Amino acid sequence: MTRTLAPRRPKASRSDRGRRVFDDRDDVDFAEPRLGAFEQKLRVDKQKAAVIQALDRRRPDTAARFVDELVREQIGSGRSDLAAKSLCDLATHAEERGYPRLVTQWLESAVSLNARDPVAWSQFIGFRRRGGQTRELLEWTAQMLRRFPNNVYAYTARGEVLRAEARLREACDVYDRAVQLFPGNVFALNSRAVTLKGLGRLEQALV
């Protein structure tokens, strides 16, 4: 008796396994096993693209869910620092598209995940400052400066907040220290000059 064999299904390529196009169902499957470093980067890029697309489609809840999945996976792989960087990156896109609630949530999480990253602190403080929350920022920038006494971001962020509060003498002291530690930093030099002009010390501002 002759047995009829069923045709074999084509084997899915590695790049297709676990992949689904982001469509109106808001369902993306990011599952993919044991990826190498290059493949992992491609995977993260894909996840970030899905978040940005959700933001563009005015679906903040979907974007938040995708970010939660991305961050959970990066933390699970022992890379909380990369999770913090992803949150900072995506917070920039969320701010550009007008989602302050998501920006606040993601930047707070970034600082919490990697409190040793001065860039995350600076981005968080900058966003809060643009929102006009300078009084709260006085404490946050003081904390940042205590944490990062050898980082230019800590000094310039502190100086900007003090200057916004019209505490020009204190701001000038901060910028003096920044210029002393980082003599080639253009932003610190310019901020110091502007502050000196505000104090009426024009000759020093030109130095």
d(CA 130, CA 120): 16
Find all residues with CB under 8 Å of 79, minimum gap 6, and list them.
none
For residue 115, give the DSSP letter: T
Instruction: Give the predicted TM-score (pTM) of the model.
Output: 0.71
Find all residues with CB under 8 Å of 71, minimum gap 6, and list them.
83, 86, 87, 109, 113
**Residue corresponding to tokens 């024009």:** 202
State the burial class of residue 26 (Cβ atoms within 10 Å of its Cβ: 0-12, 13-18, 19+). Answer: middle
3-state helix, strand, coil in the chain (%, to 5): 65, 0, 35
Whether the Cβ atoms of residue 187 and residue 156 lie closer than 8 Å to each other? yes
10-residue block means of pLDDT along the chain (207 residues)? 45 42 44 64 93 97 97 93 96 96 96 90 88 82 92 92 93 96 94 93 77
**Residue corresponding to tokens 């990156």:** 89
